Amino acid sequence: METSSEDVRIAKDLVQVFIKAKKTLKLYPDNNPIYAKTLDNIHAMFVDFFNYKNELTLKIKQNDIFFGSEQVYHNPGKDNNLALFFFKDGLRELSFKKGLSKEELENFLKIIALDFDREAVDDDIVTLLWEKDFKSIKYLADEAFLLEEEDYEIKALTEIKNKAPDVDMILKAYTDSFSAKDIRDISTADLTDRDIQLLINEKTKDIADKTGKLLQILFEMLSLAENTTELEDVIHAFNAIILYAIKYRDFSVFVNIIKKTKEAAENPSTPDNIKHHLKLLLSIVNSEEIIKQVGGMLDSEEKTDENILDEYLGLLGKNAVTGFISVLGTQESIHGRKKIINILIRLGKTDISVFAAGLKDPRWYVVRNIIYILSQIGDNKAVEYLLPMAKHTDAKVRKELANAFGDFKNPASIRILKDYLNDADAMVRKAAVKALSGMGVETVKGIIIAAITEKNFSDRSLDEKREFFQALSCWNNTDTVAFLVNLLQKKSFLNLLQDAESKACAAYALGLLGNKDALPALYKLRDSKNSLLRDYVSAAIKKIEYGS
Amino acid sequence: MAAKEDISITRISKDIINQLAVVIRNAQIHAPNNVAVLTAVDKFTSMINPLLSDSRETFTLELLGEFFYVNDMRISYPMEYLLNFAFLISEFKKRKMGGMKITGPLNSEDMQIFLKAFISSALSYDPFKTLSDGILDIKQLDVTSPQKIKEDKADIGEESNIRKQVKKTYFNAVSYTKGFMNKLSSGETINIKKAKRIVESMVDLILHEEELLLGMTAIKNYDEYTYHHSVNVSILSVAFGQRLGLSRNALTELGLVALFHDTGKVEVPPETLNKPSELNENDWVVMKKHPFWGAKTILKLKGLDNISLRSAIVAFEHHLNYDMSGYPKVSPPFEPDFFSKIVSLADGYDAMTSARVYLRIPTAPNDAISAMVKGAGTQYDPVLVKFFATMVGALPVGSLVLLDTKEFGIVFKSNTVLSNRPIVLILVDSSGNKIKGLMADLAEKDNNGKYLRTPIKTLDPNKYNIDLAEYLLFEGI
């Protein structure tokens, strides 16, 4: 092929843009403008070249790439060596032909962008090119390295020659052939449309997923195993197919395998030694390796069939909790986390002690989620696990604890919540007062009133104060109204502003209570000079008078 | 024409070729003005004319070997078109027609002229001339002879290179299989990537030079039976899969699982595997475990993937018969996998026609096919066995044949359309003298349309110490 200096320049440029494209395609998704621009540019370069040439062929050496006799790339190093990248799998020539479409170019670049050292790629570059069957990209590969034995072909042919009979009996065969049998027609032309249809049916039946088929074989192999080693090998294969199903196949396939294995393990006709192995095998569903895969699936955008998920949960034992707690900390999506939490709520019902270890997890968000799970399970025994957590250093955990203690309504919970009313973090204090109010217990009312009447209550923010008064409004009786009215009427000589905030919150609580007995006290304050107090009082009056 | 357009033409071409066969079939039964013919013609022109609306565009249909090419692209076809494709190939061959070139839209009248010439040419002494003369009035249609294609596409040097490539690929595969089995025995790591590369090469050769690679499987006098057998089964399975319309990637998968089908034999003690006498009952008990061991061994390889999964299935099932006899014994309902049925046929054929340590004289190829056809419905799937027999042919490569010319030879290359008219390497001339290097195509006719040579008798090469390798491996190059 004749090559001009211009051709060589283009070939050099193309090799350089391949190197850049390898990086770009690795970094950016295909909907990214940089990705699209890279592809457009390279394609445009080819289109320009093909305006006056039909083919661009690159010859690959270990450290060099040649266009014709011109070296267009050289890299003596091992890292980022494009020539070596092609050369090591036996690729020796790459040709791009006129008519190269952008689609083919993109698929080619995607192949060379693969990181064969790091990614789990089952094929080498030649196989990947072969599978794509490009129309306008051709290659030559050296297959010498495929040989297990050097000069095998020569040896085999020599051997055949040496084995050849000294004297063949061609002429004897010739003579005998006259009395030999007539050629029988083996009827090779009687294929009918029905045969074709039967074959099409057979091909249609040949579904891609063969896990069900292999499972059937494994069950046969169980009964064919003649000794413990063989039996263990078959069980090992069961293990492998379960892992394969969860990694590469539909979740339902995986669940189906487990179900069938369980059925076999529980079938009275299954021999005891096989039953024993199958039961051991089934413990794999509770393993962290499997649960990690399930977690990944739930974290993805793929829709999960709730019925199959339900079936799956029915197959799990309480040992699975540890795995799910571990997965809980790695879920990236909110929906994924929610699903794991729901699974743990379901799994933990029979024995909440399995969560004890999880509460010691160093990740605050895992601990917080476990506290939530325990509160949702609602077993009072959870309090004994939660109490030692009360002084957890993370406020978000303490806030979750406050919510949980509110659900348990026992003296120990009340004691902690009372302490939380003076927690260093406002978020915890507010959660505690809310949790206390939710208990509806009379003693709790006293705790809230005591807090409100404490000297330092006025130091709390308006927002927090309102939370306390709102909590108090949960006890709708004359005592509460009397306490609030009394507070409205109380005179203060100290911090007028903060005093007005407390009164405003009291008015707010009275509004919530809706008791008309409070109206006289409120009327007196509706013209207050303090605008905050005035607004709250007006709103309360309106609420009591009109119910809104 | 731009590449993108080429691709779309390739996509529609299988439908156009199929419809052309429908048109010709109808025209052979009905008068040209019959509604069935006219409807078929209308459909054909409505498919092809849009591709030829631009005066620069051309539709070139060529027959090379057993495959159609449109605008230089090989056209694969779905299974439902198989009969029509085979019919059209045979009709082209009857007329010594290599192809047709259409340079512009065709109307109904053009097609009537073409059909008339096409039908009448079948009875002519020189069918190709009759056909080309008959269509002179159709300016946008021309027919080409196969000779022209041969000149254009393949010269002797290229044929020789291809043969070298075929041998290289074959022995690479055997070498790999030997290494694979030895590594399995010694517990070493197996490189499946290499196996893929080897099978891909075999698939390429099957797609383009099917007969040559199939010919390699006919040479049976190797010492290392197990390795050659695995490769032969792989080649036969891929060739068979190709006839069944499997995709290129599915063929690779099939070739790989076939290559690994006898993996379990690594666990059979060598004294049983290589026993010089016939196997006794105890030996058979051990031998019959190899499907179990094969599946087990494959499943123990590092990690499962689709290939190992299918390989394990085939390794387990390849001795299971259609009627569930065979081995290992399984509980019903159980139906062997599609690939297992294919490999079982290839395995059965190669085993029957190969000499083993304990079976010095194997079955003759045509007898093996007869036996397999007899086993349809019991040992083998009745439909698949028909397809397999069609592929291997009535006179498989390696068969010895006596011709009506009193010439005697060995079948060198099969003819997939006219299965009893292969290419024969003549070993003895009509005077009874040994000769070398004469290759005779039994499909060739004289000027009167009569076949030049017809096979009349066949006999078993194994009974006469005939060294097939000498003729098939060395003679051909």
Mean of the per-residue pLDDT values of chain B:
85
- According to the model, what pLDDT value does residue B460 have? 81
- According to the model, what pLDDT value does residue B6 have? 52
Residues from chain A that touch B178, judged by Cβ atoms under 8 A, are: 148-149, 152
User: Do A274 and A221 contact (CB within 8 A), yes or no?
Assistant: no
Residues from chain B that touch A221, judged by Cβ atoms under 8 A, are: 292, 295-296, 316
- According to the model, what pLDDT value does residue B341 have? 96
- According to the model, what pLDDT value does residue B147 have? 47
Contact A243 B304 (CB under 8 A): yes
Residues from chain B that touch A143, judged by Cβ atoms under 8 A, are: 168-169, 172, 197-198, 201
Residue B207 has pLDDT above 90, yes or no: no
One domain, residues B149 and B160: no
Residues from chain A that touch B467, judged by Cβ atoms under 8 A, are: 163-165, 168
User: Do B143 and B131 contact (CB within 8 A), yes or no?
Assistant: yes
Pairwise CA distance, residues B397 & B168, whole Å? 19
One domain, residues B146 and B189: no
- According to the model, what pLDDT value does residue B475 have? 55
One domain, residues B224 and B81: no
Q: Of the residues B120, B153, B186, which one is the last residue of a structural domain?
A: B153
**Spans of chain A, pLDDT less than 50:** 186-187, 189
Residue B154 has pLDDT above 60, yes or no: no
Nearest to A180 among B7, B328, B402 (CB): B402
B345: nearest Cα among B371, B305, B384:
B384
B70, B83, B168, B175: best mutation site toward chain A, by most A Cβ within 10 Å?
A: B175
Asked which of A121-135, A234-248, B74-88, B378-392 is least confident by mean pLDDT, the reply is B74-88
One domain, residues B46 and B145: yes
Structural domains in chain B (count): 3
Nearest to B337 among A152, A184, A213 (CB): A213
Contact B171 A98 (CB under 8 A): no
One domain, residues B318 and B202: yes
Contact A244 B309 (CB under 8 A): yes
Which residue is closest to B289 within chain A, CA to CA?
A224
Contact B386 A217 (CB under 8 A): no
Nearest to A186 among B168, B329, B370 (CB): B370
One domain, residues B304 and B323: yes
One domain, residues B18 and B41: yes
One domain, residues B431 and B348: no
Contact B175 A152 (CB under 8 A): yes
Contact B465 A205 (CB under 8 A): no
Q: Of the residues B347, B365, B392, which one is the last residue of a structural domain?
A: B392
- According to the model, what pLDDT value does residue B237 have? 97
Contact A202 B338 (CB under 8 A): yes
Structure tokens at B219: 């040479």
* % of residues, chain B, pLDDT over 90: 44
- According to the model, what pLDDT value does residue B150 have? 38
One domain, residues B190 and B212: yes
pTM comes to 0.77
B121: nearest Cα among B39, B18, B24, B41:
B24
Nearest CA-CA distance, residue A42 and chain B, Å: 18
One domain, residues B142 and B234: no
Quickly tell me which residue has 């409070």 as its tokens: A518
Residue B477 has pLDDT above 70, yes or no: no
- According to the model, what pLDDT value does residue B93 have? 82
Contact A170 B197 (CB under 8 A): no
Nearest CA-CA distance, residue A418 and chain B, Å: 57
- According to the model, what pLDDT value does residue A118 have? 59
On the CB side of B313, CA atoms within 13 Å amount to 30
Ramachandran angles phi, psi of B473, nearest 5°: -90, -45
**Domains of chain A, CATH where assigned:** 5-146 (no CATH), 460-548 (1.25.10)
- According to the model, what pLDDT value does residue B458 have? 87
Structure tokens at A153: 């072909």
Contact B464 A90 (CB under 8 A): no
How does residue B245 score in pLDDT terms, banded at 50, 70 and 90? Answer: confident
One domain, residues B166 and B247: yes
Contact A123 B317 (CB under 8 A): no
Residues from chain B that touch A211, judged by Cβ atoms under 8 A, are: 309
Q: Is ipTM beyond 0.90?
A: no
Chains A, B: CB contacts within 8 A come to 265
Residues from chain B that touch A213, judged by Cβ atoms under 8 A, are: 313, 337
Residues from chain A that touch B330, judged by Cβ atoms under 8 A, are: 220
- According to the model, what pLDDT value does residue A186 have? 46
H/E element, B340: helix B338-352
Find the Cα–Cα–Cα–Cα dihedral A18, A22, A27, A33, rounded to 10°. 30
Residues from chain A that touch B376, judged by Cβ atoms under 8 A, are: none
Over residues B312-325, the mean pLDDT reads: 96
Preceding omega of B333 cis (within 30 degrees of 0): yes
* Residues spanned by the domain of B145: 3-153
Residues from chain A that touch B327, judged by Cβ atoms under 8 A, are: none
Nearest to A168 among B197, B330, B464 (CB): B464
Residue B156 has pLDDT above 70, yes or no: no
Residues from chain A that touch B465, judged by Cβ atoms under 8 A, are: 165, 167-169
Nearest to B176 among A146, A185, A236 (CB): A146
One domain, residues B149 and B191: no
Q: Which amino acid is at A199?
A: L
Q: Does A222 touch chain B (CB under 8 A)?
A: no
Residues from chain B that touch A174, judged by Cβ atoms under 8 A, are: 402, 408, 427-428, 432
3-state class of A81 per DSSP?
A: coil
Q: Of the residues B392, B420, B444, which one is the last residue of a structural domain?
A: B392
B148: nearest Cα among B167, B128, B164:
B128
CATH number, domain of B269, equals 1.10.3210.10
